[in-house]
């Protein structure tokens, strides 16, 4: 879900403004900045907590999400969101599920999305993969290549790695895409 259907650019911009930072325009930039220890008053975990709670107010639905949801539903596909989302943040034990569910409710309600049956927020990557198997998915999109590289990831699932990284090449069983709308070329 994060970085797949949620675009944090506006939230990052808000954090950058609040903290008077420069030359940071993406989540990746922000993560690199805090992981290098250039700001001792905050850590990446603090920033992540803010992005996944308060910062969600500024996040947008990722480009192409509405089109892909609408088109796939029209084609007869079921859509299920399976995300690795801990219930509580590591640093301060903030509730991470409620803000995510509220954000989804506000942003995908037009698709008659049944959050009880079509949303799964799993506690770990291995639980996420087990859920993919249990739901018998035929296609799966993720922004983390590592998910597809897990030995337990089901090989029969058509896998789409959503990324703008051009320095890494996806394995032959994973289709690298730059936008959600590219999926339509493969279904």
Give the residue numbers spanning the domain of 50. Answer: 7-58
2 is a domain residue: no
Mark whether 69 and 50 lie in a shared domain: no
- pTM for the complete prediction? 0.87
Percent of all residues in the chain with a pLDDT value above 90, rounded to a whole number? 65
83-94: per-residue pLDDT in tens?
Answer: 998 888 888 889
53 with 84, same domain: the answer is no
Top-confidence residue, 167 or 7:
7
Contact indicator for 132, 154 with CB cutoff of 8 Å: yes
My answer on whether 91 and 50 are in the same domain is no
| 102 has pLDDT over 90 | yes
1 found inside a domain: no
Q: Give, for 115, the enclosing helix (H) or strand (E).
A: helix 115-118
φ, ψ (nearest 5 deg) of residue 121: -105, 100
Residue 144: partners with Cβ closer than 8 Å, 6 or more residues away: none
Residues forming beta bridges with residue 160, ordered by sequence position: 141, 175
Measure the CA–CA gap between 38 and 27, rounded to whole angstroms.
Answer: 16
Burial of 42 (0-12, 13-18, 19+ CB in 10 A): middle
Whether 37 has a pLDDT exceeding 80, the answer reads no
């Amino acid at each position: 879900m994060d970085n797949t259907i949620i675009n944090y650019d506006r939230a990052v911009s808000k954090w950058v403004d609040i903290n008077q930072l420069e030359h940071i325009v993406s989540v990746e930039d922000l993560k690199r900045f805090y992981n290098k220890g250039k700001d001792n008053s905050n850590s990446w975990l603090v920033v992540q907590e803010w992005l996944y709670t308060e910062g969600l107010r500024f996040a947008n639905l990722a480009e192409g999400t509405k089109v892909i949801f609408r088109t796939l539903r029209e084609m007869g596909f079921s859509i299920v969101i399976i995300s690795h989302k801990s219930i509580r943040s590591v640093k301060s034990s903030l509730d991470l599920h409620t803000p995510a569910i509220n954000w989804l409710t506000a942003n995908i309600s037009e698709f008659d999305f049944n959050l009880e049956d079509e949303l799964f927020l799993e506690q770990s990557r291995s639980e996420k993969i087990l859920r993919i198997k249990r739901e018998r998915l035929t296609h799966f999109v993720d922004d983390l290549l590592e998910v597809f590289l897990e030995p337990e990831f089901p090989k029969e699932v058509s896998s789409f790695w959503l990324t703008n990284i051009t320095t890494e090449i996806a394995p032959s069983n994973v289709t690298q895409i730059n936008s959600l709308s590219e999926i339509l070329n493969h279904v």
